[in-house]
Amino acid sequence: MSDKLSPNRVADDVFEIRVDSSRQAQWIARTLRKAELAEDVVAGLETVCVKFAPASAQQVSDWLQGIDFAVDETLPDTPIITLDIHYGGEKGPDFEWVCEALNLSAEAFIEMHTGQTHTVEMMGFTPGFAYVSGLPEDVKIPRLSDPRLRVAAGSVGVSGAFTGIYALAGPGGWPLIGRLSKPLTGPISGAPIFFQSGQRLKFKAA
């Protein structure tokens, strides 16, 4: 992609840029962060938000509109990590209806989920939460209409065609299909952040 960006003002101190994919969003956000003009640059799955100090509103706006991006979507070549998941039961209270919604048996869902390599598209929400792609694109699971106030650490949810891993306990709106059998322990010691975007994962039924 080589394109001009058209920023949209989504708060008095935030511009938002719409992009086509999370890889583009990640790449653009990294490029913008390096320029150090904004207070904060955060990628979503199809957007990048740029939060700025009030004094630099015009400067940031001009800068965003003037940049020409050539996106490099190559993923880092890191070893695949395998995570064991307990599917269903108390640890995955939404597993049954998620399978029903997809017209799959529990076994067929697990086979689909464990049968391929997934990719961490982005980290976000709370420290360590991973947005993981890899489910077929026609999987469309809606979020809960009312988020849970507390989800256990290690919970695994699905939303749209994404798998989400809750590294920490906290509130959450994704239907839960299971839980990791072991808590995450990260490469960044002492920090609840375990993956970088681009990390490839495999799931295994515990």
Partner 1 sequence: MLRIRKAGLQTTLQGQARIGQRFVGMPYAGPADPLSMALANRLVGNPADATCLEITYGGFEAEIEIACSMALAGAPSDLAVSGQAHSFHKTLHLQPGDTLTLAPPVQGVRAYLAIHSAFEAAVQFGSTSTYLTAEIGGLEGRALRADDTIRARGSTTFGDTLETPEALRPVFTHQFALRATRSSETDLLTADSERALFSEMFTIGRQATRMGLALTGHTLTVESDGMMKSAPVFPGTIQCPPSGLPIVLSCDAQTTGGYPRIASIARCVRHLLGLMRPGDQVRLLHRAPEAALEDDQRKQNFFSDWLEDGF
Q: Which residues bind partner 1 (CB under 8 A)?
A: 8-14, 16, 29, 33, 39-49, 51, 54, 57, 122-129, 131, 140-147, 149, 159-160, 162, 168-171, 173, 190-193
Residue 75 DSSP symbol: P
Q: Which of 156, 168, 184 is nearest to 88 (CA)?
A: 156
Q: Alpha carbon 19 to chain centroid distance?
A: 15
* Residue whose structure tokens are 């890889």: 23
For the bound state, the minimum distance from the C-beta of residue 25 to partner 1, rounded and expressed in Å, comes to 9
Which residues of 25-137 form beta strands (DSSP E)? 40-43, 47-51, 68-70, 81-87, 118-123, 130-133
Which residues, in sequence order, are bridge partners of residue 165?
Answer: 130, 156
User: From the CB of 22, what's the least distance to partner 1, in Å?
Assistant: 8
Query: By C-beta, is 173 or 198 nearer to partner 1?
Result: 173
Residue 99 and residue 105 in contact, taking contact as beta carbons nearer than 8 Å: yes
Nearest to 122, CA basis, from 67, 193, 179? 193
Question: What type of residue is 116?
Answer: Q
Residue 43 Cβ, how far from partner 1 at the closest point, in Å? 7
Give least dist CB 168 to partner 1, A: 6
Strands in 25-67 per DSSP E: 40-43, 47-51
Shortest spacing between CB 149 and partner 1, in angstroms: 7
- As measured in angstroms, the least distance from the Cβ of 205 to partner 1 is 26
Is 133 in a helix, a strand, or coil? strand
3-state secondary structure of 108: helix
